[in-house]
Amino acid sequence: MKKRLLAIGLSLAMTAGILAGCGSGSGTASTAGSTAASKDTSAASTASTASTASTASTASNQAGGKTEMTVSGDNVTTLNVWTFIELHQQFYTDMAEKWNEQNPDKKVKLVLSNMQYDDMHNKLALALQSGEGAPDIADIELGKFPSFTSGKEIKLRDLTDVIEPYKQNVVASRLNIYSKDGKYYGLPTHVGTEVAFYNTEELQKAGIDYTTIKTWDDFKAAGVKYHDATGKEFATAETTAMWMVNLMLAQKGGDYLKEDGTLDVNNDKVVEVLQYIKDMQDAGALGVVPGGQPDNEEAYSHYDNGEFAVQIMPFWQTSRFTSYMTDLKGKVAIAPVPQFSSSDPVKTIGGGGTGTAIIASSPNADLAAQVMAFIKLSPEANKEVWNVLGFDPVNTDVWSDKELTENPDNKFVQFFNTKPFDTLNEVKDGIGSLKSLQDEKAPSINNVFCTTTLTNIFENGADIKTELDAAQAELQNEFQ
C-alpha cells in the first residue's frame, strides 16, 4: 500500500514536472504572441522580425566565405556565383544592385561563395563532369580556362550574343583568350597590361634614370650598372611564373605552338628569349627572387625593403603594392616595358586574368549571361574595376576619362609617383597576347615550365636547349 502511494506520488510529481516544463515553454510563446498581437501593425512587426532574421543569417554566412545579397520585391532570381577572389564579391554585389535599379523586372539576387584558387577550379571541374552541384556563374582563371573549353561538349554558355553590344570598346585580345572556335565563353575582368614598376628611390642612388630605358639592351645595361653600384638585385629571373618570358616571346613574334596547334616549345625563338634572360642573369642584371616571381608572399618583402628594384608585371600588380608592399608608397614609377626594337610586333601583352563563365546547364543561364555582361563590360562596371580593384579595365574608353583615372582620392593614384594611365595609354594600340594561351595545352605548358624548365635553367644552370627538348618530350608524351 505504501509502495503504491509512493508510486502514485512519484508519478504525480513527474507529471507535474512535465506540465511545468510545458507550461513555462508555452507561457513564453504566448507572451511573445500577445506582444506581437498587442501592437497595432502585427504584420509589420512580423515582417521586421523576418528581415532581422535574414540579416542575421547573412552575417553568419559571411563568416563562412559566403555572401548573400538582400533584394526586396517579387520575381527575384537567385544566382549562385563561385569566385576565388574575395575582392570580387563586393564588386559583383555593388554592380548587381545597379542592375536591379535599371531592370526592376529582371531583378537578381547573387549568392557568392568564395573559395581557395585550386579548390574552386577543382570543385567546378568535378561538378561539371558529374553534372551535379555546379553554380550558375563561376570565375575561371586564365591558366585554367582552356581545360574547361576542351572536351567533347563544352559545359559553358556561349556568350557571343551578350558581349556583342559592348564589343567595340573592349580590347579584342582579352575577349579572344576566353574564346574557342570563334565563340566567347568568358567575360574578362581586366587587360593586365604588362608594365614595368621601377623603385625610383633605389635607382637614383645608383644614378639610373628609368625613363631612358627603352630597349631590353638598355634594361640589361641599367641592371648591370645597378648591381655593380649597390650590390643589390635589379630585377628577377622568373622560375615559377612566365610574365617576362611570355612578354619577350610575344615581342619576338614567337609562340609555344606551331600554326596548326602542335607542340613546339623548343623552337628557336623560345631558346633566344631564355638565352637573353640567362645572359642578363649572368651579367648580373637579374637575380632570382625568393618565391621565384614578384607576385608571391615571399617575394613581396624583398621588393618592399629594396633588395629587388624592378618588376615586370601585369598592371594588376598595383593592388599587391597597396596591400603588401606598402613601404614603397611614393617610390614607385610605372613605365612601359622595354622592347627588343621599335619594330616588335607587339609593345606589350596582357598577363593573367579571370574569365567569368556562365554554366550552360543552369536554368537561368540566359539571365545570368545578361547580368554578368552588364556587371563586367558596361562602362559603369569598368569604372568600378579601377576604383575598387585597381585593375586596368577592358573598356579602353575609361582609360581616357581623366576625372576617373587621375582622381586624387584614389589610393592607387596616391601610391605611385607617375600617373598610372599615362603608361597604359602609351601602349594602348600595341597590346597583344600569345595565341597558345587559348589552347588546351596551355595549362600543361605552363606547368612544365614553372615547375621544371625555368628552375633548372635559372637556378641550376642547366643547358637551355636540353631543358626545352626535355619539356617538349614530356608534353608530347602527355598529348600523344
Partner 1 sequence: MKKLFFSQKAAPYIFVLPFVLTVLLFWLGPIFNGVLLSFQDVKQQTFVGLKNYSRILTDAIFFKAVLNSVKYTVFTLILLIPFPLLFASFLNSKLMKKPGIFKSIYFLPALTSVVVAGTVFRLMFGESDQSLMNQLIGLFGNSPIKWLRNGDTAFFALLLLCCWRWTGVNILYFLAGIQSIPSDLYEAAEIDGASGLQQFFSITVPLVKPTTVYVLTISIYAGLSMFLESFMLWKGNNSPNNIGLTIVGYLYRQGIEKQAMGYACAVGITLLIIVMVINMIQLKATGTFSKEAE
Extract the C-alpha cell encoding 203. 635607382
Q: What is the identity of the amino acid at 360? A: A
* Residue 473 within binding range of partner 1, rule CB under 8 A: yes
Number of residues that bind partner 1 (CB under 8 A): 34
Extract the C-alpha cell encoding 310. 624592378
* Residue 237 within binding range of partner 1, rule CB under 8 A: no
**Shortest Cβ distance from residue 142 to partner 1 (Å)?**
15
Q: Which of 450, 464, 468, 472 binds partner 1 (CB under 8 A)?
A: 450
**Shortest Cβ distance from residue 100 to partner 1 (Å)?**
36
* Residue 455 within binding range of partner 1, rule CB under 8 A: yes
Single out the segment in contact with partner 1 by CB under 8 A; choices: 104-112, 187-195, 294-302, 385-393.
Answer: 294-302
The nearer residue to partner 1, 164 or 298, going by C-beta atoms, is: 298
Extract the C-alpha cell encoding 153. 561538349
**Shortest Cβ distance from residue 469 to partner 1 (Å)?**
12
What gap in Å lies between CA 97 and CA 110, rounded to an integer? 10
Restricting to residues 144-203, name those near partner 1 by CB under 8 A.
147, 150-152
The nearer residue to partner 1, 307 or 426, going by C-beta atoms, is: 307
* Residue 267 within binding range of partner 1, rule CB under 8 A: no
**Shortest Cβ distance from residue 292 to partner 1 (Å)?**
7
What gap in Å lies between CA 480 and CA 470, rounded to an integer? 15
Question: Is the CB of residue 163 less than 8 Å from the CB of residue 175?
Answer: yes
CA dihedral (116, 121, 123, 129) in degrees, to 10, reads 180
Single out the segment in contact with partner 1 by CB under 8 A; choices: 25-33, 54-62, 116-124, 430-438.
Answer: 116-124
* Residue 463 within binding range of partner 1, rule CB under 8 A: no
**Shortest Cβ distance from residue 264 to partner 1 (Å)?**
19
Question: Residues 212-231: x/- map of binding to partner 1 (CB under 8 A)?
Answer: --------------------
* Residue 444 within binding range of partner 1, rule CB under 8 A: yes
Exposure on the CB side of residue 72, measured as CA atoms within 13 A:
5
Q: What is the identity of the amino acid at 420? A: P
Which residues sit at the interface with partner 1, rule CB under 8 A?
118, 121-122, 125-126, 129, 147, 150-152, 239-240, 290-292, 298, 301-302, 443-444, 447, 450-452, 455-456, 459-460, 470, 473-474, 477-478, 480
